[in-house]
Chain A
């Protein structure tokens, strides 16, 4: 009797749940599938509005056009560079700051924490930021994309709560064994907070990868623009066509747009499953107070 009541693998409700989950999974995949199929279809057929589940008239034309454009590669290079360098730098700065601010005996700790919270709530806006970047002679350099994102008050607040939860006795014993603060930070605090650090790392990396406005505002030279800017340009190009002139005869096709979107999503799609296990653990940050 008991067995019947518990949910077996063959029960109707179990199947219903599986069906619902599969349905939602398919819903999530459809946009990607659409983009992929369109990018591999014959551009002329796409323009005429034909779309099937499988590519119509398989063609690599869009990708040939894409790889011909040096801006895709320069954009990809910049984006990868800012993501890798920017993320490492941000993680270093933010964990170090949070670790220090988690120490209540630090002189001025309360004031510093309040200053961090202040920047969480108030900021100067685009033009003052632009002036700062300009005066630091960072305009038109990749550092304009990396340095302003080095510090993020929200991430620091998250990390502070995580570091504060580490037992003080751990540190004391390390100190007795002769470790200094730097060693405790790098050998004890960071490894113990790995889920939180990995989450922050993923936040920062995804933000670096997706960030659009700084590339638009701080970068003038087209060969220094990150890939997202190039992507948005391509997507907007078709909307511009009729307003400019009836003479532009090769309107960028939908095929081209989908090819770029797919090519640029691919690295993150491949990377995500490997980082996901950290991501899920990381979301528990602060859920349990010890």
Chain B
């Protein structure tokens, strides 16, 4: 009898320890769109993912669909099935509407009750980053912040400034900028004796509309509360003024005449050709550097002043790169959150930005020294999977790690981008209304903007018409809903 009990107890202990061993690595599946160079390794089997498992005890399995253009389709199909992954990545221009739709359909888990248990996560993420992950007052996703929260920067050709004897510090008002651009076109800054230079090279496409250097100086970059209504920026009279100015630049040959049809590829051909004096892009300008051009040939400049003398900003769409939402079927949301919590710790941060000790960097006297041939390698993968935190680029260890990747001048440009960047906050924090999903409120604005800048439409004659048409095609509903939201937030 005694023996039998003993053997039973032993068997029980064995089973328990076995299951404990099995439970050691919690399995988590995440649907992602990771389309970066993994150096030939499988997205689920490499040194980095093994390190994450070792550190957090979580065995992540990425259901990765790297063909970016088809990702929304894959996301929708999987979310329509009855087998949801534990978490899903929401990305691109549609991430907020996707979040609203999936939350509305009850497929996402509200995280508000869980989040306070994750101190690193709460401390590292800015309030505005969280705001964007909300639907109907509840948080449904964890924001993955850009480490450069506002990436836009305007660059000028250094040799042209020197040839024309222009001090970039002297650029203050819009008129100063205009005079400079006019001289770029008329005074042959490249000195070849031929009239073949332009002021601005740009492209036009959705969020990457790169003509935005002046828009905030005209006060036309942000939504505004006017006469009892919260109006989007493109309905403001200030936007009309900006359009008039852009049309002037275009008709005087300052703005590249083919900007309307140029692809991003064509843009970089033109920048490298040396015939264009100014462009606006992400401060990292990898495309420019990859053409064999040198960052030191450019001067980064702060935005122009507004008419009232205050400093304008470069206004970007969102502080988040993408977000990750946990689905209702996830049995263990704590595990997923604890992984991202770890990513916000200093250990996680060093892993994010420097990689693995030995493989990517060496510790020399306690200092992280990146291996020359590993700089920038695998960073995209780590950013997309764990890039939750925004490191303080001004403090160690991040300052020196980032400086090794970008160089001192690159860091200067990063700091400028952070200093002079801003968001269209009222538009950003305004919730997404599912009622609006049937309307296209963006394309008509882009079309009108392009047509006015290129002079196809006369802004004074067509403006009222444009406003009226936009309002009648769903715009009035948007303004009504946005104004109601505004009143609950800011009234009284």
Contacts and interface: CB of A to CB of B under 8 A. Distances in A.
A36 to B, nearest CB: 20
A250 B81 contact: no
Interface string A59-90: 00000010011110000000000000000000
Contacts of A217: 73-74, 77
Contacts of B43: 222
B40 A246 contact: no
Interface stretch (B96-104, B242-250, B371-379): B371-379
A254 B406 CA distance: 23
Nearest to B33: A240
Nearest to B405: A247
Given A44-B292, A242-B208, 14 more contacts: A49-B272, A69-B40, A71-B42, A126-B73, A130-B77, A223-B42, A229-B67, A242-B264, A245-B146, A247-B284, A247-B376, A249-B375, A249-B376, A249-B405
Interface stretch (B58-66, B193-201, B442-450): B58-66
Contact of B151 (A49, A131, A246): A246
A181 interface: no
Nearest to B43: A222
Contacts of A47: 290-292
Contact of B380 (A44, A212, A248): A248
8 contacts: A47-B290, A127-B77, A134-B83, A216-B65, A216-B67, A229-B66, A244-B36, A247-B380
Most buried by B among A126, A213, A247: A247
A127 B63 contact: no
B86 interface: no
A252 B64 CA distance: 18
B467 interface: no
Contacts of B484: none
Nearest to A253: B290
A30 interface: no
Contacts of A68: 40
A172 to B, nearest CB: 51
Contact of B81 (A131, A236, A245, A247): A131
Interface in B190-218: 208
Interface in A35-51: 44, 47-49
Given A216-B67, A236-B68, A244-B36, A249 B286 contact: yes
A44 to B, nearest CB: 7
A232 interface: yes
A221 B44 CA distance: 9
Contacts of B208: 242
B490 interface: no
Nearest to B263: A239
Interface in B53-90: 63-70, 73-74, 76-78, 80-81, 83
B131 interface: no
Contact of A239 (B65, B68, B81, B292): B68
Nearest to A216: B70
A222 B44 contact: yes
Nearest to A74: B42
A244 B74 contact: no
Interface string B301-327: 000000000000000000001000000
B460 interface: no
B352 to A, nearest CB: 10
Given A130-B77, A233-B35, A239-B68, A246 B63 contact: no
Contacts of A212: 67, 70
Contact of B63 (A126, A130, A220): A220
Contacts of B171: none
A278 to B, nearest CB: 33
Interface in A203-239: 212-213, 216-217, 220-223, 229, 232-233, 236-237, 239
A130 B80 contact: yes
A251 interface: yes
A190 B313 CA distance: 73
Contact of B379 (A236, A239, A245): A245
B416 interface: no
Contacts of A232: 67, 69-70
B285 interface: yes
B290 A127 contact: no
A133 to B, nearest CB: 10
Contact of A246 (B74, B83, B148): B148
Contact of A236 (B35, B83, B376, B405): B35
B291 A222 contact: no
Nearest to B69: A236
Interface string B434-472: 000000000000000000000000000000000000000
Given A48-B291, A222-B64, A248-B380, A240 B35 contact: yes
B120 interface: no
A245 B284 contact: yes
Given A245-B146, A248-B286, A134 B81 contact: yes
A78 to B, nearest CB: 14
A48 B81 contact: no
Contacts of B81: 127, 130-131, 134
A222 B40 contact: no
Contact of B269 (A49, A221, A240, A248): A49
A49 B291 contact: yes
A72 B475 CA distance: 48
Interface string A100-141: 000000000000000000000000001100110010000000
Contacts of A48: 272, 291-292
Contacts of A237: 35-37, 66
A216 B35 contact: no
B282 interface: yes
A241 interface: yes
A70 B42 CA distance: 8
B262 interface: no
B229 interface: no
A229 B65 CA distance: 9
A16 B387 CA distance: 63
Contacts of A221: 44
